[in-house]
């Protein structure tokens, strides 16, 4: 075709490819194709001079050489959007990973690069996004149409919490879920796909992945592809969307790799100088309009459990709720291993949640904070040295900690305990009863890994029956 814009490769350095275009320079973020079957996809990242562009390869570059021709598609990367994406699994180019079946002929494709919704079109609400997870709904309620982060080091349960949220959303609401895996291990992706399909929630969900073994360019752009899919369902289908991202740290890491490949000087702790800009480009697209909302829950890996790391501190600014996972609580078997004192939410406000909820939440925080201080005295001198009042605080704190654990649907096969979805009213009633010392003569184990407080009576009956035998 005569009107094609053809260039040729000047140099290849890993994932960075310099391409010379004699006639017309392609625009930034344009998709370029190379290889015998045009299977190698690149994205224009920067201009070198009047004829040369630097492109980042989003696929593996084996098989191309200097002088090979490159085709400018004259447009950005596009992904399929609409209800057609539901019950399917994609890579970042919109190719299906779960089947070779075509999507159909009348599929709409949209660019992965879009501007955020202007402020005049945004809608804010004080509606709480109920998850059915006791400790989250009670102490750090999530806001509908806002962003929440799950912070934690390796192996404290971020992915388990995210899969539980997909399951609970599908059970409670008829909204759609989009799961975006950035730099996931292929094992995790395969397990998630199986879990979502078996739990029967896949018909209202879509999965999109860029694996850990893929080039940094693909991991850097998969989040934008997922957002394009979510925005279309919000704006055109007028639905409420739950967008789950696992893991934002891998997005930042991919950005640092791309930045290093482009020859930019790293800033603090080796991160890219454009970290804040890149994160904002992604995060600011997550918003609510009059048509629908995108509620985003994002896992954030914290390197070496260091919350002062730039990747964690830059992510904090964008969130309305921060759920902090604690390795210490995980080691004590208190799952979900959420630290109730470190986690925060702007929704925990008397005007939003109501006087009763606020009163109970504050009483729990106070009890747990006092218990935490008294732990040091107990470790040194023993519990006998405490005053009767302080001793009661310790007993209350220990019972609250155990009541705020919860069996998950996604871990049923490992624990053998049936998963529980708990209503906020039941959580409040249970916590009020513990704060009023109604369960002081119950064993701590009676309150561990249950849903509603009534189940403590059943456990107690079973325990006494077994003891009698």
Q: State how far the Cα of 427 lies from the Cα of 447, in Å rounded to an integer.
A: 12
Q: By the 8 A CB rule, do 15 and 57 touch? A: yes
- Among 110, 146, 184, 231, the one annotated catalytic: 184
Tokens of 461: 């009956």
- Among 74, 185, 372, 418, the one annotated catalytic: 185
Q: State how far the Cα of 26 lies from the Cα of 272, in Å rounded to an integer.
A: 25
Q: State how far the Cα of 410 lies from the Cα of 412, in Å rounded to an integer.
A: 6
Q: Which residues pair with 31 in a beta bridge?
A: 43
Q: State how far the Cα of 112 lies from the Cα of 260, in Å rounded to an integer.
A: 23
Catalytic residue status for 185? yes
Catalytic residue status for 461? no
Tell me how far apart the terminal alpha carbons of the chain are, to the nearest angstrom. Answer: 86
The 8 Å CB, 24+ separation contacts for 438-443 are 439/399, 440/392, 440/395, 440/396, 440/399, 442/399
Q: Give just the sign of the alpha carbon dihedral 306, 184, 145, 197.
A: negative
- Pairing relationship of beta strands 5-13 and 52-57 according to DSSP bridges: unpaired
Catalytic residue status for 239? no
Residue located via tokens 């609580």? 329
- Among 158, 221, 329, 396, the one annotated catalytic: 158
Q: State how far the Cα of 447 lies from the Cα of 336, in Å rounded to an integer.
A: 15
Tokens of 270: 């080796």
Q: By the 8 A CB rule, do 221 and 157 touch? A: no
Q: Which helix (H) or strand (E) holds 194?
A: helix 186-198
Q: By the 8 A CB rule, do 41 and 93 touch? A: yes
Which residues are catalytically annotated?
A: 158, 184-185
């Amino acid at each position: 075709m005569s009107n094609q814009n053809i260039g040729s490769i000047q140099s290849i350095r890993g994932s960075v490819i310099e391409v010379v275009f004699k006639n017309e320079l392609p625009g930034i973020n344009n998709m370029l194709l190379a290889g015998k079957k045009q299977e190698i996809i690149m994205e224009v990242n920067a201009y070198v001079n009047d004829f040369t562009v630097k492109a980042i390869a989003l696929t593996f570059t084996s098989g191309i050489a200097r002088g090979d021709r490159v085709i400018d598609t004259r447009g950005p990367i596009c992904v399929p959007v609409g209800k057609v994406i539901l019950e399917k699994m994609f890579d970042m180019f919109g190719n299906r990973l779960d089947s070779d079946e075509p999507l159909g002929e009348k599929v709409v494709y949209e660019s992965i690069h879009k501007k955020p919704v202007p402020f005049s079109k945004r809608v804010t609400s004080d509606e709480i996004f109920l998850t059915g997870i006791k400790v989250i709904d009670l102490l750090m309620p999530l806001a509908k149409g806002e962003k929440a982060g799950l912070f934690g080091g390796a192996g404290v349960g971020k992915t388990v919490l995210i899969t539980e949220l997909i399951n609970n959303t599908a059970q409670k609401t008829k909204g759609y879920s989009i799961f975006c895996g950035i730099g996931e291990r292929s094992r995790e992706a395969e397990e998630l796909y199986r879990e979502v399909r078996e739990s029967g929630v896949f018909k209202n969900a879509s999965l999109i992945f860029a694996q850990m073994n893929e080039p940094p360019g693909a991991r850097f752009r998969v989040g934008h592809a997922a957002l394009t899919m979510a925005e279309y369902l919000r704006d055109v289908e007028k639905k409420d969307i739950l967008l789950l991202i696992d893991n934002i740290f891998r997005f930042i890491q991919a950005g640092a790799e791309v930045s290093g490949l482009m020859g930019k000087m790293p800033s603090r702790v080796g991160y890219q100088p454009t970290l804040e800009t890149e994160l904002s480009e992604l995060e600011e697209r997550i918003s609510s309009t009059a048509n629908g909302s995108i509620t985003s829950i994002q896992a954030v890996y914290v390197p070496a459990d260091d919350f002062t790391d730039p990747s964690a501190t830059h992510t904090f600014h964008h969130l309305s709720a921060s759920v902090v996972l604690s390795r210490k609580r995980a080691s004590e078997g208190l799952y979900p291993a959420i630290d109730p004192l470190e986690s925060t939410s702007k929704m925990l406000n008397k005007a939003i949640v109501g006087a009763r909820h606020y009163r109970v939440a504050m009483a729990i925080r106070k009890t747990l904070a006092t218990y935490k201080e008294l732990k040091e005295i107990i470790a040194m001198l023993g519990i006998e040295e405490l005053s009767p009042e302080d001793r009661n605080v310790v007993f209350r704190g220990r019972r609250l900690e155990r009541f705020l654990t919860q069996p998950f649907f996604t871990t049923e096969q490992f624990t053998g305990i049936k998963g529980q979805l708990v209503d906020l009213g039941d959580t409040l009633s249970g916590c009020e009863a513990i704060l009023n010392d109604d369960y002081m003569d119950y064993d701590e184990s009676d309150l561990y890994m249950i849903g509603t407080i009534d189940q403590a009576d059943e456990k107690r009956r079973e325990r006494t029956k077994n003891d009698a035998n």
